[in-house]
Amino acid sequence: MNLEDITTIKSILSKPQNIVIIPHKNPDGDAIGSCLGLLGFLKDKGQNAVVVAPNDYPKFLKWMPRNEQILNFEKENSEAKKALDEATVIFTLDFNDLSRTGQLETILKAKEADFIMIDHHQQPDDYAIVTYSDVSMSSTCEMVYNFIEYLGETDRITKAMAINLYTGIMTDTGSFKYRSTSSRTHRVVADLIDRGAENMEIHQRVFDTNSPSRLHLLGVALSNMVILPQYKTAYITLSQEELDDNDFKKGDTEGFVNYGLTLEGIIFAVIFIENREEGIIKISLRSIGDFSVNEFARNHFNGGGHDNAAGGRSEISMEATITKFNDILKTYKTQLNP
């Protein structure tokens, strides 16, 4: 953030506000962690603040401090709408286009509140009075830490806030292994540990708690994996029937796409997951090195994200989506074999 942005933020927060903090639809660890971390900071400053999530999120994130204070727009609609109606300031975290909020998009576009964006994805929209956007950042949680530091108030970071911010950084960096993990990231994480974030316990809560049905679903996913060595690519498909047969719960497929990248010689991994209720095939894409899955998703599957991690969707059948993917892949053979 520049000096003008910092001055604007300080002016806004110098008086009482009704603040709503919003993550993207289907929020992940970084979205929930950044929202809860910022919530703790704003409440400590005496602000009336609440998190409104567009929809539900995985069970493995629901242990996080202040989780019970999140309003689910789908399940707690009247209370969430009331908070939005009264909002004078709206923070949007871990996304940069209001279309990423699902049913909330129409409401947010009609609001006259001061919007503040904190996000690390590419090509931000221009709806906010303050846009703190940095694609080089490991996570929005690291940016929230920086945001608090820019305001000169890191002394307000409590143990609960440290836990939430650490969780988001850990999940969005793949446990600190992605290229976006910088020396600065590690310095931030070290400070969060010093402030009470217990790294081993957090890792166990997020990654080491499985249900039998999730492990069975993982087995199905791995058995469905298709390896295309000529394109250094591996992809997985999961049909709605396979999800239903294995008692799928939101978040159960988290991390499945990464298994393809553990194969020797594979630099591009994709998972295609059918969502019959929404009438789409949800797509997650990951890569190693210089192959941009952000560009691939934007150009072909109505998505985007980061160079090495992106998402997209297809509105045709699974069979037709896979045919389309394989046809597109042929045009990338040179890029995938530099």
Q: What is the pLDDT along the chain (338 residues), one digit of tens a residue?
A: 899 999 999 999 999 999 999 999 999 999 999 999 999 999 999 999 999 999 999 999 999 999 999 999 999 999 999 999 999 999 999 999 999 999 999 999 999 999 999 999 988 999 999 999 999 999 999 999 999 999 999 999 999 999 999 999 999 998 998 889 999 999 999 999 999 999 999 999 998 888 999 999 999 999 999 999 999 999 999 999 999 999 999 999 999 999 999 999 999 999 999 999 999 999 999 999 999 999 999 999 999 888 999 999 999 999 999 999 999 999 999 999 98
Give CA–CA dist 332/338, Å, rounded: 10
**Residue entry with tokens 């998972």:** 271
CATH number of the domain that 163 lies in? Answer: 3.90.1640.10
Q: Which helix (H) or strand (E) holds 130?
A: strand 130-133
The reply to whether 199 and 292 lie within a common domain is no
- Tell whether 162 and 307 lie within a shared domain: no
Percentages of the chain per state (helix, strand, coil), in multiples of 5: 45, 20, 35
Given a contact cutoff of 8 angstroms between Cβ atoms, the answer to whether 239 and 274 are in contact is yes
Note the pLDDT of residue 163. 98
Distance set, CA 213 to CA 61, 107, 252, 254, 301 (Å): 18, 37, 9, 14, 29
pLDDT value at position 177?
87
* Same domain, yes or no: 250 and 159: no
Q: For residues 236 and 227, what is the distance between their CA atoms, to the nearest angstrom?
A: 9
From residue 218, how far is each of 15, 17, 78, 174, 254 by CA, in Å? 50, 45, 37, 18, 10
What's phi and psi for 257, nearest 5 deg? -60, -30
Q: 216 and 202: one domain?
A: no
Residue 279, burial from CB neighbour count under 10 angstroms (0-12, 13-18, 19+): exposed
Q: Report the alpha-carbon distance of residue 137 to residue 162 in Å, rounded.
A: 18
207, 241, 256 - which closes a domain:
207
Question: What does pTM read for this prediction?
Answer: 0.90
Residues 157, 39 within the same domain:
yes
Domain span at residue 281?
Answer: 212-336
Residue type at position 124: P
Q: What is the pLDDT of residue 209?
A: 80
What pLDDT score does 179 carry?
Answer: 86
**Measured CA angle at 274 (ends 271, 276), to 5 deg:** 165
Residues 134 and 149 in one domain: yes
Furthest CA-CA distance within the chain: 60
Final residue before a domain boundary, out of 165, 190, 207: 207
> Do 33 and 140 lie in a common domain?
yes
Tokens of 28: 């992940």
Instruction: Clarify whether residues 85 and 216 are in a common domain.
Output: no
The SS3 of residue 270 is: strand
Q: Are residues 253 and 302 in the same domain?
A: yes
Q: How many structural domains compose the chain?
A: 2
Residue 184 token pair: 């600065």
Whether residues 96 and 191 fall in one domain: yes
Kindly report the CATH number assigned to the domain that includes residue 311. 3.10.310.30
List, in sequence order, every residue forming a beta bridge with 18; answer none if it has no partner.
Answer: 48
User: Among residues 183, 207, 231, which one ends one of the domains?
Assistant: 207
Q: Rounded to 5 degrees, what angle do the CA atoms 170, 47, 192 make?
A: 25
Whether residues 277 and 313 share a domain: the answer is yes
- Residue identified by tokens 């560009």 is 295
pLDDT at 114: 97
Residues 185 and 60 in one domain: yes
Token pair belonging to 126: 């221009």
Nearest to 233 by CA among 291, 175, 311: 291
